Structure 1
Amino acid sequence: MSQLRLAHIATHSAVRALPGSVADAIAAGQQLTGRDRELIALLADHRALTAGQIARLFFAHDNTARKRLVRLTERGVLARFRTCVRPGSQSWRYTLGTLGAMIHAATHGDTLPTAAKTQEKVLKLAQNPRLNHLLGVNDFFVALTEHARNKEGCELVEWWNECAITEACARIVRPDGYGKWVDSGRSTGLFLEYDTGTEKLETVLNKLGGYRDLASADVSHPILFVLPGVTRHNNFHRMMSAQPAALGALTVATAAMDDLHADSPADAVWLLAGTRTRYRLIDLPQPAALRRAA
């Protein structure tokens, strides 16, 4: 049986028909905790998170997270899916279920979605070929949030998804995400470019043209490129060093995914373009400072 068919079976079983009346949503809402509501809002903004990511964001113990997520799924607040693999299975991917989507819409004064519409969105998300890219982008910000939980004086105060930051940048650039990071009283914005290796490196490098245009409108933050392997990372870094005109006065830094698996994105994992120096996120030079020095 094909992987696609197996994925469909796993997804279909996870989004079977659930109650979807206003009365059901009211009853479910009465049983939500403040943490549950934070999770609903986060999934509304960022579409999908793995069970492990949710545990890292909101829970002290994985077992507590698992039990709560199962309960919320059974109530129709959340929906979940995963692809069957051999051997074993993926961890569950969670998104808003019928009642969660209704509760979120009511909270924000939006039109209530139907159960059929919500389940259609879940199925499309489960089959989306960019799902792993989305989860990778989200994991970057989950890791920063987790770091802040464990280190006093740190906080991820803003986390914008691709659509929100693209609109805010007037579609001049399409970052995979935007964040504002605070560390020991200092703060920095950041644009995230999360590369999965599907594009030529020349295409990835050409994205800097849009950021130069954006900087000319006085909108500029450090641009972080996460690349899938050490070889691709090193090749991209050499390419940037060989073409300083592509950088202009931008702050561009790179890290391989393995670097981020070993350390937090807040740590000294960022190799600044044109140098051999790795910086902590908060210590990356600000583009405005580079423009003054240029």
Structure 2
Amino acid sequence: MPTLPRPAHGPGSRYTARAAVTRTRPSRHPDVATLARRLTGRDLWLARMLHEHRVLTTHQIARLAYTSLRSAQRRLRTLHQHAVVDSFRPLTASGSAPEHYTLGPAGAALLAAHAGLDLAILGWRPTHTGHIAYSPSLGHDLGVNELLTHLAAHTRDTPKAALALWLSERSCARRWGDIVRPDAYAHWYDGDPLLPFFLEYDTGSQPLARVEAKLVGYAAFTTATGSRPALLIHTRTQSRDQALRHRLAPAAHELDLRVATSSADFTTTDPWGPWWAPLQPGAHRTTLTALAAHWPSLTPASGLDPTDADTALTLPVPPLPPDPGGGQ
């Protein structure tokens, strides 16, 4: 199979994806009624998460929902056998990549049935996994999910902390796409106060001028809605971070935006930590919780309340399953 060009930067830069599923399963899978009796609440939550966030690795799923990597792998093999999930393993320049999971045909049918929708309306196609595996944005999407899964998993062992809301790029576009299109929107707190934030995950592939142009949209959002979330910009290296800060600081000040930046040099496994620097002269790096205290005027984005146009599949998915330590 011919390989595709690797992303220039980000988590996907180490490998080229292939769409071939390496594990066999029966050609026929159980119908929805039979399958529903075999699945736990955590399984249904995972199907919704894969529909919402498109692709999650074994390690990301284990981080969110299981007590060990081994238990996650065991259950995911079962779900793959029943076609609730599909998977692919990218080819790596060295070593091996973890299994990458997407929503499978039975999982899509189950979600459509739960929502009372036709499968076509759900948007799932037989080519779903292949499109994700070969997507040039795979590394970008994995990077976003890596940050947010670390934040969500941290709250399992930190009682006062919570990732209370996590919306994907697609959900953000559905709500605010005529003004802004962030890579994610989330609510974070560790005690008080709340930090509502848009996330821009910068892989370094866009010119600085294009990143700067996005600030106009975020300023327009504040003007149009009267709400003021923070804007967090995460990039790949400290040098790129410094270049962004130099380019964006004047515009952020002029537009009265609350912006903080960080890079993968700092936030690899603990993005809640003291790695975020407000976009102002002389600012020191601080935690997400301290950012909320630093900007007391922040307010959650408007447009989050359910409407008559929402279905069970357009409402936010809880970042953690209903019973992370439950049955297999």
Asked if TM exceeds 0.5, the reply is yes
TM-aligned CA deviation for residue 257 of structure 1:
1.1
CA contact (8 A) 2:204 2:235 kept: yes
The percentage of aligned residue pairs carrying the same residue is: 32
Is residue 157 of structure 2 the alignment partner of residue 157 of structure 1? Answer: no
Within a 5 Å distance, the mapping from 1:44-123 to structure 2 comes to 44-112=51-119, 118-123=125-130
Partner in structure 2 of residue 232 of structure 1? 240
TM-aligned CA distance change 1:17 to 1:246, over 3 Å: farther
CA distance in 1, matches of 2:191, 2:27: 46
Distance 2:161 2:2 in 1: 45
Structure 2 counterpart of 1:135, which letter?
L
Deviations 1:241-281 (A, max 9, x none): 3x25655211100001121115x222221111013212211
The DSSP-based 3-state class of the residue aligned with 1:143 is: helix
CA separation of 1:215/1:71 partners in 2, compared to 1, >3 Å: closer, same or farther? same
Cα distance change, pair 74–208 in 1 and its aligned pair in 2 (3 A): same
- 259, 272, 275: which one pairs with 1:269? 275
Which residue in 2 is equivalent to 1:186?
A: 193
Structure 1, unaligned runs of 5 or more: none
Higher helix proportion, which one? 1
What is the SS of the residue equivalent to 1:258?
A: coil
**Alpha-carbon separation, structure 2, partners of 1:85 and 1:40:** 27
- Residue 288 of structure 1 corresponds to 297
Distance in 2, matches of 1:93 and 1:273, equals: 35
Report whether the alignment pairs 1:136 with 2:136.
Answer: no
Q: Aligned pair in 2 of structure 1 residues 7, 16: CA closer, same or farther (>3 Å)? A: farther
Q: Which amino acid aligns with 2:47?
A: I
Contact kept, 8 Å, 1:190 with 1:222, in 2: the verdict is yes
Which structure's relative contact order is higher, taking Cα pairs within 8 Å and 6+ residues apart? 2
Partner of 1:219: 227
Contact 2:25 2:80 (8 Å CA) reproduced: no
Matched, 1:175 2:189: no
> Which residue number in structure 1 is paired with residue 132 of structure 2?
125
Contact 2:198 2:230 in 1 (8 A): yes
Confirm or deny: 8 A CA contact 1:158 1:179 kept in the other structure.
yes
> What is the TM-score normalised by the length of structure 2?
0.79
Of 36, 45, 50, which aligns to 2:43? Answer: 36
For the 8 Å contact 2:231–2:259, the answer to whether it is kept is: yes
CA contact (8 A) 2:232 2:260 kept: yes
Structural RMSD (CA): 2.4
Show the counterpart of 2:317: none
**Which blocks of at least 5 consecutive residues in structure 2 are unaligned?**
6-15, 300-328
* Amino acid across the alignment from 1:237: R
Matched residue type, 1:225? I
Would you say the 8 A contact 2:180–2:221 is kept in 1?
yes
- State the TM-score, normalized to the length of structure 1: 0.88
Q: Report what 2:204 is aligned to.
A: 197
- Aligned to 1:73, the other structure's residue is in SS state helix
Match for residue 255 of structure 2 among 225, 248, 253? 248
Assess if the C-alpha contact under 8 Å between 1:11 and 1:83 holds in 2. Answer: no
Residues 18, 46 of structure 1: alpha-carbon distance in 2 compared, 3 angstrom cutoff: farther
